[in-house]
Chain A
C-alpha cells in the first residue's frame, strides 16, 4: 500500500519585496508519512516548519514539488478550491495556542460542531448534538462544559476543544503544531496521553511539530530535523535521538534541559546567527558558519541526505556517520527524506 502522505521535492520560495530575490522557506523537501504513523518535525523558529505545515495542509501554494495525499496529488489544487476537495476533511490541524485558535464568541459546542456543519455528511449534520457529545467524551471534555466560552475554560480544556474540533471529521492526518507548548507540564502530560490514545483508537497519522525533542521522542515513530528550509536528518526517533548524525541535531539535543541537576551534559553551543534564507548559495551547507565541525569542503559542496548504518537513518552532512561505516540504508521502504531525484 502506498504511503498516506508522499511529499516529493517540495519547494516554497517567497518573493522579497522590491527585488528579484527569493526567500527559500522550504527547499527540496521529501518525506512520507505512512498510515497510522507519527512523524515529528523539529527545528528552530524560522527553519520553515510552519511553511511546510501550511503547504501540506494546503493553505499555501508550493513553488515546486508534489504533495500526494492518499494517492492523489493535492499540491496542484489551489487553496481556494481545496476547501471543497474531499481531502480537505482528511487533513486537520491542532494549533499551538488553544486560547488564540478558538473563536471567543463560539461555545465549546459550536467550535466542535463547526467542521461538522461545514464539511460533515448529512447524517452527521442531522445528529449534530449526539456527534458533538460523543467527541467531547472522546477527548475527555465533560459534557457540561460544552456550553462554555473559551475564556471560561482552563488551558487544558481549551486544547481538548481544539483536538475535538480537529478530529470531528475523522481525519486521516492530524497536523499538531506545538500542541502543548502553551500548557503547564502537568496538563501537557494529560494531553500527550490523550493524543497517543486517540491515534491508536482512530488510526490517524500525526505530523507532530515541536522544538522540544523530549516530547517528539515520546509521541513519534520517525523524526525529521529541519534547518533553514532543508531536512538535515531523518530516521526512526530512537535512532536519531540515540545516535544523532548531524551536528545540528546534536546541538539541538544538547540544548534540551534535563530535569535532573546531576545530568549536566556537555553543551554544544551554536555560535553566530543562522545564514540568510534569501537566495542562499547552492553549494554551501546551510549550517556552515554555525557548525562546530565545519571545514572548507562544506562551502564548496552542499551535503545531500545520505543513509547511515541503520535502516531509514539519513543525514545531510559530509561527516555525519562515522567514517568507514557501511553507507547503505538497505531496503529503506519507509524512507524518511530521500534526496530528490
Chain B
C-alpha cells in the first residue's frame, strides 16, 4: 500500500436498531485504497459490503449508527463531516453507481438532463456548454447516437445502456473515487464484460480509484489490484488479487473460491459453503465464521479476533489460517 492512501477506512463499526434487537452489521472494518487503484470487496449477501459503501458516503439509513471508526478521504473524516461538506464531496470527489440502474435513475426525466443536473450542481460550467459535455460523456461511455439518447427516458434503454448512463452520471465530474455496488448483477455476460471494460478504461485514463462491490469472485479476479473479503460484517482477508486467488489463507476465502464455477470444471469440483451467515443480533463470537468453519478449535473463541499480516499487504483475520 502506498504511503498516503486516497481513502482509509479504520476500525469502522456500524449497528442497526431493529425490532429484534441491535444488529452489529459491521465490526472493526478496515481497508484502504490508493489513488487510481481498483479494490474489490467480495462476500455473500449480508456480509456488510453495501453497508460499508453507504456508511462511507454518509447514506446510512436512520436506523443505522456508526459506533466507532474513521473514513479519511483527503484529510477529511467522512463519518464526522457536516452534511454540507458531504454534499460538496459526493458527486464531485466521491461517486457511486448502484446495482439496478433502472431504479436508480429518475424514471420521468430524460437521461441527458439527469447528467446535466449533476454538472449544474457540481461543475463550474456555463449553461451553454453543459449539453456538449453531456454528449461527450455519453459518447465516452460508448452509448451509440448520443444526440438521440440524450432525450431518452430510462425505460427506453436496455439494462446495459442504463448502466452506462449511470456511469456517465457518476464520472461526470471526474471523481477521485468511484464506488460500484454490484455494477453488473442482472446483466448479460457480454454486457457485463463491456461495462467492466469501460470501468477499467475510465480508471486507467482518468486515474480514478474504484471500489468494486460484488458477490461474484470471478468478476473481480481479472479486474482488481487488491481484494477485500468480507463475511458477516468482518473483513476476513485482504490481499493483492493474484495472491488471494493463488494462495487464500482464510478458510472462508478458500471455500468461496471452491464454490465459484470455473471454465472446464465438473459439478463435483464445486463445493458449497456449509451453513449460513450467522445471526448478527445480540452477542456474537469473536470469529463470526466459526460455526461454518471446518478448522474451528478452542483458540477461535478467544477474543479478540487476530489480524495477522502474513505477507506485505496480505492480512488474515483468523487464529488458524490455512
Residues of A within 8 A of B (CB): 44-46, 154-156, 181, 184-190, 192-193, 196, 211-215, 217-219, 241, 251-264, 267, 269-270, 272-273
Contacts and interface: CB of A to CB of B under 8 A. Distances in A.
Interface stretch (B80-88, B117-125, B256-264, B280-288): B256-264
Contacts of A213: 189
B27 interface: no
Nearest to B258: A189
Nearest to B275: A186
B267 A44 contact: no
B267 A212 contact: no
A259 B144 contact: no
Contacts, number: 121
B44 interface: yes
B276 A255 contact: no
Chain B's interface size range is: 35 or more
Interface of B: 44-45, 144, 158-159, 186, 188-194, 196-197, 215-219, 221-222, 241-242, 245-246, 255-257, 259-267, 270-273, 276
Contacts of B270: 189, 192-193, 218
Nearest to B270: A189
A184 B44 contact: yes
Contacts of A263: 221-222, 263
A237 to B, nearest CB: 11
A193 B221 contact: no
A192 B267 contact: yes
A214 B262 contact: yes
A215 B159 CA distance: 22
Given A45-B188, A193-B270, A272 B144 contact: yes
Given A185-B256, A193-B270, A215-B261, A255 B45 contact: no
Contacts of B192: 255, 257
Given A184-B44, A218-B265, A269-B197, A256 B189 contact: yes
Given A45-B159, A259-B245, A186 B197 contact: no
Nearest to A272: B144
Closest 8 CB pairs of A and B: A186-B273, A189-B272, A255-B193, A257-B218, A190-B272, A214-B261, A259-B218, A189-B259
A253 B270 CA distance: 19
